[in-house]
Structure 1
Amino acid sequence: MARRRAVSAQEVVHDPLGARLKAYEGRPAAVAGAGKDPVNAPMIRHWCEAMGDTNPAYSGPDAIAPPTMLQAWTMGGLSGHEGRTGAYDDLLSLLDASGCTAVVATDCEQEYLRPLRPGDRVTFDSVIESVSGRKTTKLGTGYFVTTRTDLRVDGDLVGTHRFRILKYAPARRILPAPRPRPVVGRDNAGFWQGVAERRLLIQRCTDCGTLRHPWLPGCNACGCLDWDTVESSGEGTVYSYVVMHHPPFPAFDPPYAVGLVELAEGVRMVSNVIGVPYDKVRIGLPVRVEFRTYEDAEGTLVLPVFRVVEGHGESHGEGEA
């Protein structure tokens, strides 16, 4: 577990709240927690169906769990975990009382030491690993809080999960905020170049022909690293959706519908569903891609959204962010 760090006199003077928060570093957030369920095939199947992951390693008598499911085996649901200490809740309550009432997850890091298999019973310990000093961001001023969870099976460490949030006091904005820019890297640059050209490109493995989205450096079916692209027709159906009400986020106007759209080619992607009010979006609605251009102080941004096909649903109102 992390060691608690001493708080300097300078920190107390310049950031008294931050000094109080630093005292939580190293405190356990959960001790001897246990997963509500053992690793099991139904949850693995549901995960793979939702993610569109057809890797054969995740099914059959010798199946393993997808590594990215690591956190799923520790979730406590609405009832929580018996091993929860209360320190994490106390820290968040202190931030709430200071005006840092908004929260956004910023990133997570996972380390996998061995595969998890059906029947494994996961136990875990969590610690408040770090609390940053006061930070001013575009969202507002607040503090980054990082927890680390160590997962074990039969006492042996099998993985580590770090989860970081920003608890902040929302900034007051006079001018409309720019749309958030997508994170573009070497693995997905081709997709966003296609979007800029008003083309919806899907990766295709040149070995087995499997289509995939989001873009990945290698095929999740056969492992081949070579790929090309096919251009999607842009037609699809709403596979699932959520309606975003809270938290409010600059450049968006809740409530609005965010859909998981299954394209005609078989892959799925996430974007806004527009063309009908948010409360009229339904699973199975036919949609078609539409490229929207946003102009702001940061430049031109093109994003793909999905408009409900005319004649389906109630077409009055955009129902979009």
Structure 2
Amino acid sequence: MTPPAEGVERTEDSADFFDYADRGVLLLRRCDACGEVRGPQEAWCVSCRAEEHTVVEAGGGGSLVSWAVVHRAPLPWLETPYVAAVVEVDEGPWLLVRLATSGDPLEVGTRLHLEVDRVPGSEPLLVARTS
């Protein structure tokens, strides 16, 4: 089950991410100065520190980098246990996401599909699923 997105706030900087997520599309940002692709949460380029960017729609694929089973939630509304994962999206950046597993063993490099999960009455959430 995906938790409600209480506490996730739309800001001026994150509004484009949520607008795309409402349409089921994962947004990334490409630096206008150097071309580096960064995650939607990055306010400036990690390579050259420029803030200007162009919106890029992610293809939805990625590979598992690391994961942890969370047994004690940092927020009271999160149901446990759940799997938090770092995923390297095919476009390059690493994202921290909720991982929905099929029960198969996980290993570094496992191919994943990233989806925007819509929870009625709240902001969309990013979830990775085993392919």
Q: TM-score, normalised by structure 2?
A: 0.84
The within-5 A match list for 1:1-321 is 178-247=4-73, 249-277=75-103, 280-295=105-120, 299-309=121-131
- Amino acid of the structure 2 residue aligned with 1:302: P
Residue 196 of structure 1 aligns to which amino acid in structure 2?
A: D
Distance 1:255 1:204, change over 3 A: same
In structure 1, what is the Cα distance between the partners aligned to 2:17 and 2:74? Answer: 28
Q: For residue 226 of structure 1, what is the amino acid of its counterpart?
A: E
Aligned-residue CA RMSD (Å): 2.2
Shift of 1:213: 1.6
Q: Shift in Å at residue 294 of structure 1?
A: 1.4
Residue identity over aligned pairs, in percent, reads 28
Higher RCO (Cα < 8 Å, 6 or more apart): 2
Separation (CA, whole Å) in 2 of partners of 1:302 and 1:216: 18
Instruction: Quote the Cα distance in structure 2 between the aligned partners of 1:233 and 1:268.
Output: 14
Cα offsets for 1:40-85 (capped at 9, x unmatched) = xxxxxxxxxxxxxxxxxxxxxxxxxxxxxxxxxxxxxxxxxxxxxx
SS in 1 for 2:21: helix
Hey, what's the Cα distance between the residues in 2 that align with 1:283 and 1:273? 13
Aligned residues: 129
TM-score by length of 1: 0.37
Unpaired runs of 5+ residues, structure 2, are none
Q: What amino acid maps onto 1:283 in structure 2?
A: V
Unaligned runs of 5+ in 1: 1-176, 310-321
CA shift in 2, pair 1:219/1:247, >3 Å: closer
Contact 2:73 2:79 in 1 (8 A): no
Amino acid at match of 1:285: T
What one-letter code is carried by the residue in structure 1 that aligns with 2:127? Answer: V
Contact 1:258–1:272 under 8 Å retained in 2: yes
